[in-house]
Amino acid sequence: MQKGYFITGTDTGVGKTWATLALMAHLQQAGHCVLGMKPVASGCEQTAEGLRNEDALLIQQQSTIALPYDAINPYAFAPAIAPHLAATQAGVEIDLSHLTGSARALQQQSDYLIVEGAGGWLVPLNKASSIADLAWQLQLPVILVVSLRLGCINHALLSATAIRQSGCELAGWVANILDPQMPCLQQNIDSITARVPAPLLGTLPYQQQRNTMQLAQHLSV
Ligand SMILES: Nc1ncnc2c1ncn2[C@@H]1O[C@H](COP(=O)(O)OP(=O)(O)OP(=O)(O)O)[C@@H](O)[C@H]1O
Ligand SMILES: [Mg+2]
């Protein structure tokens, strides 16, 4: 069976992309062929080649094999708004079977496929389905990225509960240090570790400038 992970987070802007890139690098360092995917992205820039999303471009660069942009990011929308609203504005309905087909094609070319979600776990993709449904259809174990800030314990526990209620496997969680001055940093990590029924796969340190290779050293998957 092809392997991979679905990366979700406690919110938007919590470090999913940094964790995705770090995990890809970590698996590449072990000699694996790793491809990445950002199935749905809003907040894209219009370029001569079409709409381009920063996360998807980074994932494209990190992938072991050169892939066409559309294979990595099948649904790209310009406004930086919730994906189902951006899709509606664009007159598009996000089709989960199209996304699972795209993911399968990437899995056939790789040892691992790392899929970055959009926002958090219950972000809607269309009238009926959400990120949770996409992750379930992809049948990938889920990694939850938690940015350490006030409120993160509640957000981590809510997300972990929802992931397991969706029927998905929670492979583990990643602590991301966005604020190195956060009070009781380690106690927050310990509080989540004690309550989430899945392992802490690593703590990503605060970096002024992203160094993916160095971030990769902090993961154990
Ligand atoms: N470990 C870190 N150290 C310092 N800054 C970080 C770290 N992780 C993330 N950031 C900062 O936080 C921002 C958000 O991170 P990232 O883009 O990975 O979040 P995301 O969850 O992927 O967001 P989105 O929901 O938009 O996809 C980054 O642009 C970066 O500036
Ligand atoms: Mg991202």
Q: Give the pLDDT confidence of 22-51 residue by residue, as tens digits.
A: 999 999 999 999 999 999 999 999 999 999
- pLDDT value for 54: 98
Q: Give the pLDDT confidence of 108-141 residue by residue, as tens digits.
A: 999 999 999 999 999 999 999 999 999 999 999 9
SS3 136: helix
**Distance (Å, whole) CA 19 – CA 175:** 9
List of domains in the chain = 3-216 (3.40.50.300)
- pLDDT value for 199: 98
Pocket test for ligand 1, best of 7, 17, 45, 211 (most atoms within 8 A of CB): 17
- pLDDT value for 1: 45
Q: Is the pLDDT of residue 93 over 70?
A: yes
Q: Give the pLDDT confidence of 6-16 residue by residue, as tens digits.
A: 999 999 999 99
In the chain, the amino acid numbered 166 is S
**Distance (Å, whole) CA 47 – CA 112:** 30
- Distance from the alpha carbon of residue 81 to the mean position of ligand 2, in angstroms: 14
Q: Is the pTM of this model over 0.85?
A: yes
